[in-house]
Amino acid sequence: KAGVTQTPRYLIKTRGQQVTLSCSPISGHRSVSWYQQTPGQGLQFLFEYFSETQRNKGNFPGRFSGRQFSNSRSEMNVSTLELGDSALYLCASSLTGTNSPLHFGNGTRLTVT
Amino acid sequence: AQTVTQSQPEMSVQEAETVTLSCTYDTSESNYYLFWYKQPPSRQMILVIRQEAYKQQNATENRFSVNFQKAAKSFSLKISDSQLGDTAMYFCAFMKHVRGSTLGRLYFGRGTQLTVWP
């Protein structure tokens, strides 16, 4: 069974631009969550989706948004990029969310210049 | 709010030896899950072991085992017979158990970089 797939693996963007990251969960998994990883803040929860609905959201500004499609694939969008948005963005999927282990992808490394 | 603390930023161990990574957490929840994830240079977060808080028996997965002390809110990871491939960043994580909910948010510690040397 294929794992969680994140695309692209690397992105370089300029301050002020916007970016869209994609995540394809493990087949059969209906919950997708996103995390931001930086050296300074560690791993921080962005949001979680289940059945196309956002179920939980972390403490990030409105520039960070996401969505989930009917096939459980998810995208996250960051608008008006800032230098501090440079990070590794990790996507994880699970069968139902709670009580189910999260399986992570390899992440997308975003660099904002 | 839930917090997870890993007090050892770095550790090293010789191949074939045993090493223990520490983790403490703070929560007012009574039902929850605890995890150890490893993140090698490939960046992928890999689940190492999981513990349900309602189970008193410590979880084991081959060379990996935990010492779960619920009253002390401690959750340490023991790696036996360390191998070079165990070199990675290890994260301790907490998840609330919410009955009837689909919320699966993980709260992570800051990680412990483990280096296994020959």
Find, among A106, A3, A38, the residue nearest to B44 by Cα: A106
Res. B27 pLDDT band, cuts 50 70 90: very high
- Inspect the interface and report whether the beta carbons of B42 and A43 lie closer than 8 Å: no
Q: Does A48 touch chain B (CB under 8 A)?
A: yes
- Checking if the pLDDT of A62 tops 60, the result is yes
Q: Which is more confident, A56 or B104?
A: A56
Cβ–Cβ < 8 Å for B31, B94: no
In this predicted model, what pLDDT tens digit does every residue of A17-40 receive, in sequence order?
Answer: 999 999 999 999 988 999 999 999
Q: Which residues contact B55 (CB under 8 A, 6 or more apart)?
A: none
- pLDDT at res. A60: 96
Does residue B104 register a pLDDT over 80? no
- Give B70→chain A minimum CA distance, Å: 18
Distance from C-alpha of A13 to C-alpha of A36, rounded to nearest angstrom: 17
Element holding A20 (H helix, E strand): strand A19-24
Give yes or no for residue B102 having a pLDDT over 70.
no
The answer to whether A42 contacts B101, with C-beta atoms less than 8 Å apart, is no
In order of A101, B93, B94, the CA distances from B69 in angstroms are 21, 15, 14
Read off the DSSP letter of residue B31: S
- Give the pLDDT band of residue B109 (cuts 50, 70, 90): very high
Cβ neighbours of B107 in A, within 8 Å: 45
